[in-house]
A = this chain, B = another copy of it.
Amino acid sequence: MNNFNSFNLKNERNLTMLVDFYELTMANGYLDSNVGDKIAYFDMFFRRVPDGGGYCVMAGVQQLIEYLSSLKFTEDDIKYLERKNLFSSKFIQYLKDFKFECDVWAVPEGNPVFPNEPLVMVKGPVIQAQFIETMVLLTVNHQTLIATKANRICKAANGRPVMEFGSRRAQGYDGAIYGARAAMIGGCSATACTIAEQMFDVPAVGTMAHSWIQLFDTEYDSFKAWAESYPNNCTLLVDTYNVLKSGIPNAIKVFDEFLKPRGIRPKGVRIDSGDITYLTKKVRVMLDDAGYEDCSIVISNSLDEHIISQVLSNGAKINAFGVGERLITAKSEPVFGGVYKLVAVEKDGEIIPKIKISENEEKITNPAFKKIYRLFDKTTDKAIADIITLRTETIDESKPLEIFNPIHTWKKKKVTNFYAKELLVPIFEKGKVVYDSPSVSEIQQFSKEEVDKLWEEVLRLKNPHTYYIDLSKDLWNLKQSLLNKYSAMYEN
Q: Mark A residues whose CB is within 8 Å of B.
A: 6-7, 10-11, 13-15, 17-26, 28-30, 32-33, 35, 38, 40, 42, 74, 76-77, 80, 86, 126, 130, 133-134, 137-138, 141-142, 145-146, 165, 167-179, 192-195, 197-198, 204-212, 214-216, 225-226, 228-230, 233, 240-242, 245-246, 273-274, 325-326, 329-331, 334-338, 340-342, 345, 354, 356-360, 363, 486, 489-490
With A and B bound together, what is the CA distance between A274 and B359 in angstroms? 7
| 29 A-B residue pairings within 8 Å (CB atoms) | A7-B80, A11-B14, A18-B167, A18-B176, A18-B193, A20-B165, A21-B194, A21-B205, A22-B192, A23-B194, A24-B206, A25-B230, A28-B229, A29-B229, A33-B228, A35-B215, A137-B168, A137-B169, A138-B170, A141-B169, A142-B170, A146-B171, A170-B172, A171-B172, A171-B175, A211-B341, A211-B342, A215-B345, A241-B489
A10–B76 CB distance below 8 A: yes
With A and B bound together, what is the CA distance between A211 and B122 in angstroms? 13
- Kindly identify which residue among B25, B178, B214 contacts A356, using a CB–CB cutoff of 8 Å: B214
Taking the full assembly, how many copies of this chain does it contain?
Answer: 2
**Which 6 pairs from chain A and chain B are nearest by CB?**
A22-B206, A172-B174, A21-B206, A137-B168, A171-B171, A334-B334
With A and B bound together, what is the CA distance between A325 and B219 in angstroms? 45
B172–A245 CB distance below 8 A: no
A472 CB, min distance to chain B CBs, angstroms = 23
Known: A28-B229, A211-B130, A356-B210. A329 touches B334 (CB 8 A): yes
Chain B residues near A212: list those with CB within 8 A: 26, 29, 130
A322 CB, min distance to chain B CBs, angstroms = 10
A198–B77 CB distance below 8 A: yes
Known: A172-B172, A490-B241. A167 touches B206 (CB 8 A): no
A352 CB, min distance to chain B CBs, angstroms = 10
B195–A230 CB distance below 8 A: no
A358–B242 CB distance below 8 A: no
Known: A18-B177, A25-B206, A26-B212. A335 touches B342 (CB 8 A): no
A344 CB, min distance to chain B CBs, angstroms = 10
B176–A209 CB distance below 8 A: no
B24–A194 CB distance below 8 A: yes
Chain B residues near A38: list those with CB within 8 A: 215
Chain B residues near A359: list those with CB within 8 A: 273-274
With A and B bound together, what is the CA distance between A326 and B179 in angstroms? 19
A229–B32 CB distance below 8 A: yes
A457 CB, min distance to chain B CBs, angstroms = 30
With A and B bound together, what is the CA distance between A216 and B342 in angstroms? 11
B145–A171 CB distance below 8 A: yes
B197–A80 CB distance below 8 A: yes
Chain B residues near A177: list those with CB within 8 A: 18, 172
| New contact pairs (12) apart from A126-B211, A142-B172, CB-CB < 8 Å | A15-B195, A20-B165, A20-B194, A24-B194, A24-B206, A29-B226, A29-B230, A38-B215, A137-B169, A138-B167, A174-B175, A214-B356
Chain B residues near A242: list those with CB within 8 A: 490
Chain B residues near A331: list those with CB within 8 A: 334-335
Known: A168-B134, A325-B335. A19 touches B145 (CB 8 A): no
With A and B bound together, what is the CA distance between A454 and B460 in angstroms? 48
